[in-house]
Structure 1
Amino acid sequence: MSPSTLHRLDRITTALLLLWAGAALGFGVFSAPVFFRELPSRDVAGHIAGLILGRLDWAAWTVFGLAGLSWGARWIAEVKEDLIGPIRLWSAAWLVAMLMCLASTFVVTPKVRAIRARIDAPIETLAPEHEDRVAYNKAHSLSRNLFFLRILLALGLAATVGMLPRKDQAPEGLGPSA
């Protein structure tokens, strides 16, 4: 790929990551608290928030997957040169984000849904030490942590994608002959 194509790809990647992070942050900080405060039941609020989170999870798959295009063409060139370089560090962060998407979509969310399906009453009606409520609270806490960590990773990846080397750039500290 030419350096100008990589530059355009970097800008698209940055825009997508920032767009998803903004949508996720807007939901997590502004919308979800309003749902739980204003709707008549925490159960209904949780159901609505869960539906939105499911869509944000699939959007995260798309955005982080497309972000992988920014480093795919660069990876092979760096493999020959550096033990640890900017592409490998960026790739590690990207891989962590993808693993968080995997965990959220296929492990944590199904666990939360299974617990909710077992319970025929709102979760807040169960005793605090009830095993289903404890399991639900743990899974919900893990889901929330994964969600906000992915937001941080999206912001970090968006901030650094422009720093990935292109063919026309020599690694820092090395001359053109390196």
Structure 2
Amino acid sequence: MTQKRTLDLDKVLAKATEMIESRGLSETTMPNLAKDLGVRSQSLYHYVKNRSQLLSLVAASRIRLLYQDLLKQLVGLSGHEALFKFADVVRDRLLEDQALATLLYHMDEFSDDSEVVKEVVKILDLGDQLQVDTEHVVSQHALVGAVLGYVFLDRFTDGQEKVESPREAEENYHEMVWRLVSPSVQQSNA
């Protein structure tokens, strides 16, 4: 009697995510993944072409969760409130989801037609719909750069003494986001 296949793409992606979080990106290889799943390396190629596609699919699956969360959180919001909620949701997800944060810092390794790039474009398109007021549309590059930069710094300084209260940290974060995404407003108010 033949044994029924119990491996599927979701299990492969879940184990790869777990490996990225616990052992790091460099240790997330096809042979290591196969070993952790208790299968031969060749079995993985039924689900993914190579390591690059595997990592792209892991990141895309994590970004889909972020996108769904953004849709829920942004309902009924506009202006500054929507801008800050967008930045907060992305920041919080990246601080919680080490695998996603790690993969996003390696975006340059993915091809333009990869699944992760397609999902990132959906997030950027959603952000493009943010309009602070009738005169200013948010710069997506600045917004994403501000959030990713903040996440990097937060991770880099983790364990060091924080001198800000959580409320002060939130206010400073929002001020930083605002200054980076809307420099024309600053200059016109100066």
TM-score between the two structures when normalised by the length of structure 2: 0.29
More helix by share: 1
Larger Rg: 1
TM-score between the two structures when normalised by the length of structure 1: 0.30
